[in-house]
Amino acid sequence: MKILKNIVCVLFGLLFMNAGLDKILHYMPIPPMDMDMQKVFEAFGTIKWLLPLVGVIEIIGGLLFLLPKTRTVGALVILPILIGIFTHNMVFYSQQGLVIWAVLFIIWLWVVFENWGKYKKLMA
């Protein structure tokens, strides 16, 4: 079970690192969007520092998620990103995006519950 958890967490971390690098380097193709989504992305484009900041947070969270010792902090760093993904998919009614988010959130919950004792120490 520990090996499975490590494999899942490494894939989770690599996924977020890839997403963060794409926000900075723009190497993945952008899928077709409807007009509302295009307006949102144009608005994000006018704030030059926003996407690189989110990308750096995703990269840091992904790196922290790779190692078991730093996974607890990585889960805290990734939480605002997961909330943003959920909110985005709820606003634009993306069923496919919500399924992907649900899988990511279940992995995140698994890590949080496995490390609950460490979070208790942080809150004390």
Of 66-70, 91-95, 114-118, the poorest mean pLDDT is in 91-95
10 has pLDDT over 80: yes
Give the tens place of pLDDT for each residue, 25-68.
999 998 888 898 899 889 888 999 999 999 999 999 999 999 99
Q: Are 15 and 49 in contact (CB under 8 A)?
A: no
Radius of gyration for the alpha carbons in the chain, expressed in angstroms and rounded: 16
d(CA 12, CA 105): 10
Average pLDDT (89-110) is 90
Tell me phi and psi for residue 57, to 5 degrees: -65, -40
Q: How much is the pLDDT for 6?
A: 94
Tokens of 58: 């995703």
pLDDT in tens, 58-89: 999 999 999 999 999 999 999 999 999 999 88
pLDDT at residue 30, as a whole number: 87
Alpha-helix runs per DSSP H in 69-115: 71-91, 95-114
Eight-state DSSP code of residue 112? H
78, amino acid identity: I
8 Å CB contact between 110 and 65: no
